Chains A and B, each alone.
Chain A
């Protein structure tokens, strides 16, 4: 069942990252590229680039028949889906199975189960793992509002088919539950084509802690410890770290074992992540299981020393796990920053533009997983994440210091990015002490976007002196006039 040629059905930084490991393992490699898409790092690494077509670039990356046909045409015997796009699409896996192409990931049945948040939750609860108090619309749609109210405020409304924070709404005590339900339903229909909802008790000042698991599909499951992902804007993570500063060793053991237990219960194959809501009192509840490699997997690699993509490829090739639980350490501390084209001062509005100058940070304990090239163009076709900056240090304080230095030295000129905002988060005393929750960025919005030192004088001078038209005009003025200064006025 070995693998000889891998098609990466993704793009950007994750395609590049997967391709690097695949090449290191001696596989022939191929990657997709939409006909309108600019060259990215992945296209330079892959042996082969397969052009795909579609009405929009995103539609092309979601086009199952076209991608499966491409895999067969180029003789790929395995497909790695990365994250997003088709990575959690049970139908895609089923079609690949039929075509005799190995999917690097879990079975379509497990994807299907975990992809339905309501079924997944029920599955986990039935097996005795902790879940938050909730009400599920599908159980009895007529009484949904009533049952939702009975769960107790504050409530969190979620689309059953959801993910990535899309369509989620918090309803406080006395809030307009009915109208929030209708808004969430519309968003669910728009984002996922599915308006079914469920509500659960909203945990105040919760932390988001997740556990990396890996299974061989033969009953063996190990965990690669936890990741803390509480630093989120609009329910989307932008800083992740491991270990979590919130957990005692006992709690860490308990949450990691719970995650491994859930993975074992579905006889999990490949890399997965079990996400938990962690309450201030130390209680934790199953949130969902992501049946793919996560964006933030590099922090786990930095502290464990394992290449998770290599593990995925081993398992897909039938070679099993390379390590037993006791062989998986958690050394030092790692932090990941998601570098995004967005304006934190304008409610994280996505930014576009040409990358006029790119200079990535380097140094001890610094890793950059990038999806952009100098001279490239950032458009609205895809997600706003440009790259990930990952650092490792012997302890948390040192990791924060390295992350600050690295993000300050990350030069991306030509469009607005969140590098300054990320640095402001790292510099915040509550982040340093680890006293954060998923509401941290919203609570501290003003502090984190406060103007820094006023350097307008210098910026004006730079802008004027680098303005060719201004400079040319001055240089054309006869010497005598020049001496008069602003002669036109």
Chain B
């Protein structure tokens, strides 16, 4: 199987293989032998790849892998390409504005049928006492805004849907 890994918004599709001695990470820019061994502290590992030996701390969450190395923490999103395909129901990824966290709708600033520009605020949400404005990911027409002001929503709920782009 393959995985899509997300690092800083960039997606890379990878898969693993093994040459009998070592794992090989297959990426769009080539195949690289690599090795990860547990070491020392909780979550501690040593990574060997592309001529580098790197100490790190590691924790694997349900949707993302978290790595602490050289004083920085990184989150790597994990997506199964097959699941993404199944979950699509006709809509492309940038048609959908998904709740980044659970919260409450403060105000709705657009309605179905509205033509919106990229970056235009569609709705304001509140979570952990902080207000955030969710904006249109591209120019388009609003197809659906399922929530009204005052409604609560869960993580990853669809908060707004743009009509599919016409090619």
Chain A residues proximal to chain B, CB less than 8 Å: 234, 345-354, 356-357, 359, 380, 382-384, 407-409, 411-414, 416-417, 419-420, 423, 451-452, 455-471, 473-475, 477, 479, 482-489
Contact = CB atoms under 8 A, between A and B. Distances in A.
A455 B69 contact: yes
A475 B1 contact: no
B16 A474 contact: yes
B74 A459 contact: yes
B127 interface: yes
Contacts of A458: 47, 49-50, 52, 54, 69
Given A349-B132, A357-B42, A465-B35, A460 B17 contact: no
B147 interface: no
A383 B60 contact: no
B52 A451 contact: no
A466 B65 contact: yes
The 8 closest A-B pairs by CB, nearest first: A408-B71, A356-B59, A413-B66, A413-B59, A465-B36, A350-B128, A461-B34, A357-B59
Nearest to B15: A486
B88 interface: no
Contacts of A234: 130
A411 B57 contact: yes
Interface string B22-45: 011111000110111000011101
A341 to B, nearest CB: 8
What bracket does the count of chain B residues touching chain A fall in?
Answer: 35 or more
Which one of B17, B32, B69, B129 has the greatest number of beta carbons of chain A within 10 Å? B17
B100 interface: yes
A347 B65 CA distance: 22
B143 interface: no
Given A347-B132, A470-B1, A485-B17, A461 B59 contact: no
B115 to A, nearest CB: 23
B19 interface: yes
B69 to A, nearest CB: 7
Interface of B: 1, 3, 5, 7-8, 10, 12, 14-20, 23-27, 31-32, 34-36, 41-43, 45, 47, 49-50, 52, 54, 56-61, 65-76, 78, 100-103, 127-130, 132, 155
A482 B76 CA distance: 26
Contact of B127 (A380, A460, A479): A380
Contacts of B128: 350, 380, 382-384
Given A356-B59, A474-B17, 13 more contacts: A351-B101, A356-B60, A357-B66, A413-B57, A416-B75, A423-B71, A455-B74, A458-B50, A459-B7, A462-B45, A464-B14, A464-B34, A467-B16
B100 A346 contact: yes
Given A382-B128, A411-B68, A471 B16 contact: yes
Given A412-B73, A458-B47, A470 B3 contact: yes
B98 to A, nearest CB: 13
Nearest to B68: A411
Contacts of A416: 75
A485 B35 CA distance: 15
Contacts of A484: 17
B20 A457 contact: no
Contacts of B35: 465
A471 B3 CA distance: 12
* Residue from A350, A423, A458, A464 whose CB has the most chain B CB atoms within 10 Å: A464
A12 to B, nearest CB: 13
Contacts of A347: 132
